Chains A and B, each alone.
Chain A
Amino acid sequence: MEKQSYQYIENPLHVTRREFITIGGIVAAFLALPAVWIKMVTSSNNNYILARTKGLYRDDEKASIRVSHANKSVARYYKEFGGEPLGHLSHELLHTKYINRTKGLS
């Protein structure tokens, strides 16, 4: 079957006609004012991004240890099991190879 790139569905919105027109208006307005639109969207997005970003930096600030090489449990992992970073076992367990996917895999 040919791939369909257009598909129209009768009133898929389940909204009243007036609401539909309003949404249409909103969409049209967005298209007409992309700069304002992007600014509004990004600023509301940014509030969330900034709040979460701050949360993680706070987690860092209150941590008693703040550098990976001083993580005692990581050191213990290497001592009891993993050997050393980039060591033999690290290559086997913690590193990987990537695949050229431009050639068609299947």
Chain B
Amino acid sequence: MNVAAKTYQKGEIPGVIAIKASACKGCDACKRHCPTGAITGSFGATHSVDVDSCLSCGQCLINCPFGAPYETSDTVDEVIARLKDRNTTVVGIIAPAVRVAIGEDFGLPAGSLVTGKLYGSMKKAGFEILDNNFAADLTIMEEGTEFIVRARHAVFGEKSEHGAEIGPLPQFTSCCPAWVRLVETKYPTLIPNLSSAKSPQQMAGTVAKTYGTKVWGKSAEKIYTVGIMPCTAKKLEASRPEFNNAYEYNKKNGRALTDKPYPDIDTVLTTRDLSRLFKKLKINLAAEKDADGGSLLADYTGAGTIFGNTGGVMEAALRTAYAVLTGEELKPLEFKPVRGLKGVKSASVKLKDTKYNKEVTVNVAVIHNIAENIKPVIDEVLSGRSPYHFIEVMNCPGGCINGGGQPIYGNGSSWLGAIRPLFAWK
């Protein structure tokens, strides 16, 4: 057991990932995937997770050949109970990466895009749908605008409208809670560089319990929000005590029915958790009919959906920032330099800021798989030599589509499958 947890606030889940001693073979494979060296134990001995440096990203979990790491938080049965309670409106907040992975748990080929079937299955289970891609679009509006403000401040000395403080460049994205936690636990001097925009999941929870009360005609107390994420770190993120903005807002405006605070996101299920929930409710996603989202909170754009890929947030932000600054749409919309699996991708965009009638060059970088790629980029920023203005960081290799909450079959656990024939085992 982990005795002292010094890097968690009261109320937070102190580490979502633990290793089951009886299942661990001490093969060291997980260590190669851990971004922070949080796994201790020598080769051949039972390994364990140091919760204080662990980011809860779950990469060890999806890559352990023996299934030893597990999630300490499992709320599948609790969500089923809420779904059965007629007084509660259960809102499922579906992340982009879920729709191209959950099919694998129901026998569909990897990468099958099953948005319609997923909506259908969720409705059958009793969920209302808030597509997190809607919140991703909202994130772009906030984070993209924030970048423009920071850039104009740095380049043209523009002051903020409301006298609010303007953060420095480069601006880092803040959608990935494992990355945010890495900054908070290892590089606190970079905190001002993080975008202040909350992640799409947390925006979605707040919107569901404020604006959403009008959309669904339910009071916030009766709305139960479930993040459905490719990600184990999202479980930790949702438990951060400051994320009860909807409650604070409703209380301030006389809209709280009781004094009992509620979090913006009540609980989080991973893609794997949702598959289990469907199976418990005897819903076969693969055989489900396509359905639509059912409310304006399920409307999303192509920019919102690519958030799940490495480079996606940057591409979506550039599409919008370019349009705002130049008054024209980016052409072509596909911004290829930030796509693909290269560790650090970078690009320069020349554009004209119509407000100042000046040419500016925006240098962007995209980093994924922080276990291998983050160090040099951070060192540059810390020493003030970074050429970049805007940097996207995602913990997991490939981005959220390969997150720690995604289906494992054929992924991490395929190691053994791939190697077995060589050794003619069995």
A66 touching B302 by the CB < 8 A rule? yes
Q: Which residues of A have CB within 8 Å of B110?
A: 47-48, 51-52
Contact status of A96 and B309, CB under 8 A, knowing A8-B45, A67-B303, A71-B304 = no
A interface residues, Cβ below 8 angstroms from B: 3, 5-9, 12-13, 19, 22-23, 25-27, 30, 38, 40-41, 44-63, 65-74, 76-78, 80-82, 85-86, 88, 90-102, 104-106
Min distance, Cβ B246 to any Cβ of chain A, angstroms: 7
Could you say which of B121-129, B184-192, B356-364, B376-384 contacts chain A? B184-192
CA distance A6 to B301 in the complex (A): 51
Docked pose: A13 CA to B26 CA in angstroms: 12
Q: Which of B191, B202, B329 contacts A98 (CB 8 A)?
A: B191
List A contacts of B367 (CB < 8 A): none
CA distance A69 to B185 in the complex (A): 34
Besides A48-B402, A52-B402, A60-B303, 20 other CB < 8 A contacts? A9-B21, A41-B418, A55-B113, A56-B100, A57-B339, A59-B96, A59-B305, A62-B302, A63-B301, A67-B329, A68-B144, A68-B319, A68-B320, A71-B304, A78-B141, A81-B210, A88-B162, A92-B249, A94-B203, A102-B186
Q: Name the A residues within 8 Å of B349 (CB-CB).
A: none
CA distance in complex: A15, B97 (Å):
36
Let me know if A51 and B111 touch, CB within 8 A: yes
Q: List 23 A-B contacts (CB under 8 A).
A: A5-B40, A7-B46, A49-B398, A51-B109, A52-B97, A53-B310, A55-B111, A59-B96, A63-B300, A67-B319, A68-B144, A69-B140, A69-B320, A81-B214, A85-B145, A88-B162, A93-B207, A93-B245, A95-B142, A96-B242, A97-B196, A101-B185, A106-B9
The answer on a CB contact under 8 Å between A13 and B25 is: yes
Place the interface of chain B in its size category.
35 or more
Residues of B within 8 A of A66 (CB): 301-303, 319, 333
Structural contact, B401 and A53, CB atoms closer than 8 A: yes
Query: A106–B96 Cα gap in the complex (Å)?
Result: 35
Kindly list chain B residues whose C-beta atoms are within 8 Å of the C-beta of A44.
Answer: 410, 414-415, 418
Q: How far is the CA of A6 from the CA of B109 in the complex (A)?
A: 41
Residues of B within 8 A of A57 (CB): 306, 309, 339
